[in-house]
Amino acid sequence: MRMFKVPMPQRRWFHPNISGVEAERLLLERGVEGSFLARPSRSSPGDFTLSVRRHGMDDILAWDFYDLYGGEKFATLSELIQFYTENQGQLREKNGEPIELKFPLYCADPTTERWFHGDIGGKEAEKVLTEKAKPGSFLVRESQSQPGHFVLSVRTDDTVTHVKIRCQGTFDVGGGDKFDSLSDLVEHCKKNPMVDTTGTIVHLKQPLNATRIPASGIEVRVKELKRADGKKAGFWEEFESLQSSPVQFWYNKKRDRNQLNAQQEVKHVFSRKEGQKPNNRNKNRYKNILPFDHTRVLLKEPWPHDYINANYIEPDDEIFEGCKKCYIATQGCLPSTVADFWYMVWQENSRVIVMTTKEFERSKSKCAHYWPDDGEIKEYEGGFKLLMQKESSTPDFTLREFLMTRSGEERVIYQFHFIAWPDHGVPDDPGCVLNFLSEVNFRQESLDGAGPIVVHCSAGIGRTGTFIVIDLIVDQIKRCGLHTDIDIRRGIQMVRAQRSGMVQTEAQYKFIYLALLHYIDTLSHKIQAQQKCLEVGREYTNIKWGEGKDFPVKETVSIGSNSMNNLVPLGNN
């Protein structure tokens, strides 16, 4: 019977050492509807089993396969998975109901050490070590040519050396000592330099740490980052590396950015010429906090000028695949820019405003009072009228509802004013921010056709960036489940490529981690509680393919009292 070779870049959904019961538990605890994984078949050695979560919490489908439909064969398991993820609706139950493979449930990494970079390839490892690391820097990655094994990639002087790590119950680099874990092997190699095939001595001096983690692994990562390295903790180290890294631009097809190339790395800050023009300088709250030209919001005619200190923030599909969110990050209004602000809100059809600063903090003006008081009507340049219709408060935020009118057209605008951010530092309780963002998103999603959420603090970069990055990653976890990969550092790089300086301090950087830890921990407990309430019954259908068979031999297995439906792959009928 032919075995599938599983190419590593696409095989993190492959779990080599779990049973059917363990697969079910993983999907129920960490997955969402459409989550799937593949594993070796225990009942038919040489075959594989694909398990998919469907219908919310109460239906896990599993089937064994050799070819997934008779007469049509795939060269690899990865090609088979790729076909069904790219051609949703091709795989169906006997009753015609489609089975969708949406979200791969990743296999746990073999170590929580930050030098482990997962499934990056050799060329990518060479690129990151050459561009971002000094000689002696190293990382460990999964082998792409030999699944189940690993590679130690080390930068020497001008080259990168790759050392194969064999994994056969223990770990070794070929002959000599064997180790129970990757960590033990790496520690040994740090103390005992190796010699490569060219005779070059390979020293492991400092790790090149990864920031990508599965969402479910955030608790371990936070513990690692809290652990001090000398006098400096990991949060400081990651934030400082972010500060010194070049700005990278991710092209977004939603808007036309013709002046920049896709994924163009630059060693300088993007141009901010418009904000520096003499007629625009007095419209900036801080003279050195200016919008990038390539993402700035342009006020359109008939407005007398096009400048406002604001940028569009749009998620990149490479990092936040499938995310539909859009924001405008802007500064707190000056008295002279209030009319510009409301014109922008109207022009962009924004219905939700998020304000994350008080008007005054430490006796300094942070934002003008740009809204009318309760029952008051204010008129602004451009023929706008604004009426405060309602105001309600919680200990953490105030919600104001405005009726905005222009030329007979009426729109309701909601301002969520977060008041629990302290004058110094960050909130003690991340939950208050998460609850606030939940209310914001509930309102935004209830408004059909609403434009970007407008987010501002005082400068429009620190708290504004913190709220946006948290919101984007929480949305990713909601859509893709606890086993999706998250990368806080890369997410910040993405928003910084659209507005300079987003997420301003190490404290804010750490707060993002803690807020996501709080969210993931709460979600995990919720899933566990829901799981306990499920009915005992489970429904499975196994489809087995044997060697030389043109058509599947179906075998239905019932666990519990639910009735069965056979799965029928939809071929070229």
Which residues, other chains included, contact 190 with Cβ-Cβ below 8 Å and sequence gap of 6+?
A: 204, 205
Average pLDDT, integer, range 235-250: 71
Contacts 24+ apart (CB under 8 A), 448-451: 449/349, 450/349, 450/350, 450/351, 450/352, 451/326, 451/348, 451/349, 451/350, 451/351
Out of 272-281, 512-521, 523-532, pick the least confident.
Answer: 523-532
Share of the chain above pLDDT 70, in %: 80
Q: Active-site residues: which are they?
A: 457
Q: Does domain 273-477 have CATH number 3.90.190.10?
A: yes
Q: What is the CA radius of gyration of the chain?
A: 27
- Alpha-carbon torsion (340, 343, 344, 350), positive or negative: positive
Percentage of residues in the chain with pLDDT exceeding 90?
43
Q: What is the mean pLDDT of residues 429-457?
A: 97
Q: What is the mean pLDDT of residues 16-36?
A: 82
Task: Average the pLDDT over each of 226-235, 290-299, 355-364 and give the range with the smallest value.
Answer: 226-235
Q: 166 or 286: which carries more pLDDT confidence?
A: 286
User: What's the pLDDT band for 527 if we cut at 50, 70, 90?
Assistant: confident
* Domain boundaries defined on the chain: 20-104, 109-210, 273-477
Note the CATH number of domain 109-210: 3.30.505.10
CB 116 within 8 A of CB 210: yes
Quote the pLDDT of residue 39: 82
Amino acid at 504: Q
Between 294 and 124, the more confident residue is: 294
pLDDT at 54: 79
CA separation for the pair 120, 142 (Å, rounded): 7
Grade residue 246 by pLDDT with cuts at 50, 70 and 90: low
SS3 79: helix
The CATH H-level superfamily of 20-104 is SH2 domain (3.30.505.10)
Domains 20-104 and 109-210 share a fold: yes
329 - beta bridge partners? Answer: 311, 455
The pLDDT value recorded for residue 552 is 35
Give the confidence band of 82 by pLDDT, cuts at 50, 70, 90. Answer: confident
Lowest model confidence (mean pLDDT) among 267-271, 320-324, 438-442: 267-271
Query: Which phi and psi (to 5°) does residue 544 adopt?
Result: -110, 135
Query: Per-residue pLDDT for 105 more than 80?
Result: yes
Look up residue 284 and give its amino acid. N
- Write the CB contacts of 479 (distance below 8 Å, at least 6 apart in sequence): 32, 322, 323
